[in-house]
Structure 1
Amino acid sequence: MVHSGTSPKVYNKLYHVEMEKVVVAMSGGVDSSVTAYLLMKKEMAVEGVFFILFDNPPNIELAKKTANFLGIKLHIEDLRDNFKKYVIEPFFDGYRRGITPNPCILCNSYIKFPTLKKIADKIGANYFSTGHYARVIKKNGNYFLLRGLDRNKDQSYFLYGINKLFLSQLILPLGELTKQEVKEIAKQSHIPSKIAEESVEICFLKNRKYYEMFKPATQGPIIEASTGRIIGQHRGIHLFTIGQRKRIGVSSQYPLYVVKIDPSKNAVYVDTKEKVFMKEFYVNELNWLVELEKHKLSCEVKIRYAMKPEKAVVKIVNEKAKVVFESPQFAPTPGQSAVFYSDDIVLGGGVITETVQDF
């Protein structure tokens, strides 16, 4: 049994040592549950927290069961109001404006990590932790966020937006492990959450399609980008995202892809797949996790979670950035995030605002 307390360290009578206290975000899933288990194995005093982000959250009972199994206290935090304000409303507003937002990044930046920090301070914990597949290291007195060793599961992309100051208190035990190793730990340790479903990217939709939740929208033109010719009508720009091929609603002699969305004209532009590849785009809402020595840097950039970083030059002007890839990349998408890397180190990132296209 791990005992809770109000001081940063907890006295363990069995081992006659003081234990560092850590708060773990627990969703009821296998990743966060194994995170708590591994920190306990390191003789840390663990307390969990479950975030209520929307009505009828899944796995809350499983999170309670896992906490009871591990013998740790579980805090329940009702964050529905803030989650609606900072995640759900911007998500739907983004689609109405013709962009494609990333709710997981918003949630980490504005909800989960600030709340973990708040709870850690409240209960006197020096550290907080999540089940993300990423790493934090200390080098020459500075803390850095790194990609997880399991490249198929690396989640550093979703964490670029957190407060840099949090890195000194953040512990990410799963960054050194593969997903299969985590599953095996859960199995061997008989952790209840091993039977939990994997987390879905847009949790609050509860397996519904986002566009099913919009009211009927104003129709507008579908335009062939290379010719400027109107070739159809759409039923709302919220139905489209850059790079989309299916559900366009226009027949053609060649496969059509969405290459641009113009909310000022309520227009959707389509063309060949070749037109979806772009080299240049602009980024704002920048967040840096390292100290920059210059305003122009050569690095690697990811513009979506499931891609490998590609070489690019980033030029920063007036808190905005222009990104130029070494070679064109598929579908840089306004509303999505561009994350900058130097080898494994996450330098920072921002939100794509517009792309440079030749039409």
Structure 2
Amino acid sequence: MSPARIIVGMSGGVDSSVAALRLRNAGESIAGLFMQNWADDGSSDCRAEDDRRDAVAVCGRLGIPIHFRDFSGEYWAGVFEHFLAEYAAGRTPNPDVLCNREIKFKHFLDAAHELGAEKIATGHYARVVYEDGRHRLLRGVDRGKDQSYFLHQLGQKQLAATLFPLGDLPKAEVRTIARDADLPTHAKKDSTGICFIGERDFREFLSRYLPARPGEITTPDGRHVGEHPGVFYFTLGQREGLNIGGVRGFEPAPWYVVGKDVAGNVLYVDQGADTPWLRSTRLWTETAHWIAGAPPATRFSCTAQVRYRQADQACAVEVQDDGSLAVSFAGPQRAVTPGQSLVLYDGDECLGGAVIATTDAPLEQRARADAA
């Protein structure tokens, strides 16, 4: 029996199930592959075993073979160690971006080639077109589910070998297709968050690897308002988990994280979602990745997202000599967070992106001035 031409990444969810169904119905030679990316830590909080059973059931229903690969070691080295290092440094990483680059479109793609396949397919909501001699990554038609933000680190080699069968579908139609085909995942709830965290408490999970180091919560002008369990458990703009009750001399308004001093172990907060301490109009990044292999110009205008599902933000981009970016926005941005990804777009086309290093938010400017 000849090997399948396309290997579908089967996650045990409805999206990958319908991706496989559409390819099979199109007459493609396909097989599934289930990836284990996190070693069992004994907590029973990760749904990997349930997802594995669902992936097997779907492949059985479709009459296609399924393969299994354990990438938990590669995930630890390529994704999780970076995740911990970023939190320890006071930044907020995006492991989904790294997981796509290091696992799904690297180790999974290599495994598919070892099985004799030409291409891989996944249930991501995105599109790939080949125009003018290169592959372009486009947003999914369903803008509410578009996942190009998480795929911005891919390059020409990966896109040339990848299919996104759901890119032209709205999520509601995917559910309908799965139900009509009697796929066992048709009503399965979408997974949220990161598998190794699952439904458990994030702070409790992180404390296993980054021990609690309590410290002071203050306003930017130094007024004490509470105590925190560890600055790396919080991110900019966060409201939950601060445990700040009524504080004498302040209005009874919600508190938000506006900055972190990791070296001094101080968490800075202010009241009001629109506090000026969270606003910035410029940011600087680490070395950028370009899907085309190079930026469109040294200076250009486009739109950007500094977080998933953010509305397009007009900006001007300047590529620095070291490959990093200096970006100016047409309007103020709220809670732009170092460690997260800046992703750039030209209409529906994803150009690439970079990890945010710093911004001109007031506390970051003050920290740079103090260090100078």
TM-score relative to the length of structure 1: 0.90
Match for 2:304 among 295, 301, 306?
301
Tell me if structure 1 keeps the 8 A contact 2:136–2:349: yes
Tell me if structure 2 keeps the 8 A contact 1:134–1:156: yes
Q: Distance in 1 between matches of 2:233 and 2:113?
A: 43
Tell me if structure 2 keeps the 8 A contact 1:23–1:116: no
Which AA in structure 2 matches 1:110? Answer: E
Q: Does 1:281 align with 2:273?
A: no
Q: CA deviation at 1:285?
A: 4.1
Q: CA deviation at 1:244?
A: 0.8
DSSP 3-state at the match of 1:77: strand
Tell me if structure 2 keeps the 8 A contact 1:143–1:168: yes
Segments of 5+ residues of structure 1 without an aligned counterpart are 11-20
Q: Does 1:35 align with 2:19?
A: yes
Match for 1:46 among 16, 30, 36?
30
Tell me if structure 2 keeps the 8 A contact 1:22–1:127: yes
Tell me if structure 2 keeps the 8 A contact 1:5–1:123: no
Q: Does 1:248 align with 2:233?
A: no
Q: Distance in 2 between matches of 1:249 and 1:295?
A: 46
Equivalent residue for 1:352? 356
Aligned length, in residue pairs: 342
Equivalent residue for 2:226? 232
Range with bigger deviation, 329-338 or 211-220 = 211-220
Equivalent residue for 1:18? none
1:91-119 CA-partner distances (Å, limit 9, x unpaired) = 23322221111111111011111123212
Give the aligned CA root-mean-square deviation in angstroms. Answer: 1.7
Tell me if structure 1 keeps the 8 A contact 2:134–2:156: no
Q: Distance in 1 between matches of 2:96 and 2:296?
A: 30
1:287-331 CA-partner distances (Å, limit 9, x unpaired) = 110232422221111011121121111211112111211101121
Q: Distance in 1 between matches of 2:184 and 2:287?
A: 40
Equivalent residue for 1:118? 110
Range with bigger deviation, 122-131 or 244-253 = 244-253
DSSP 3-state at the match of 1:59: helix
| Identity %, equivalent residues | 36
1:1-59 CA-partner distances (Å, limit 9, x unpaired) = xxx524xxx7xxxxxxxxxx111100111000100110112211011110011245131
DSSP 3-state at the match of 1:338: strand
Q: Distance in 1 between matches of 2:123 and 2:170?
A: 12
Q: Distance in 1 between matches of 2:157 and 2:12?
A: 27
Q: Distance in 1 between matches of 2:108 and 2:2?
A: 17
Equivalent residue for 2:338? 334
Q: CA deviation at 1:168?
A: 1.2
Range with bigger deviation, 288-297 or 235-244 = 288-297
Tell me if structure 2 keeps the 8 A contact 1:59–1:196: no
Equivalent runs, 1:257-268 vs 2, <5 Å:
257-268=256-267
- Name whichever structure is richer in strand by fraction: 1
Q: Does 1:311 align with 2:308?
A: no
Match for 2:58 among 57, 66, 78?
66
Which AA in structure 1 matches 2:103? Answer: I
Q: Distance in 2 between matches of 1:336 and 1:293?
A: 23
Tell me if structure 2 keeps the 8 A contact 1:100–1:334: yes
Which AA in structure 2 matches 1:282? Answer: W
Equivalent runs, 1:49-198 vs 2, <5 Å:
49-55=33-39, 57=48, 58-198=50-190
Range with bigger deviation, 166-175 or 265-274 = 265-274
DSSP 3-state at the match of 1:114: helix
Tell me if structure 2 keeps the 8 A contact 1:134–1:149: yes
1:136-161 CA-partner distances (Å, limit 9, x unpaired) = 01112211000011011111111011
Q: Distance in 2 between matches of 1:229 and 1:281?
A: 28
Equivalent residue for 2:43? none
Range with bigger deviation, 194-203 or 32-41 = 194-203
Q: Distance in 1 between matches of 2:200 and 2:317?
A: 37
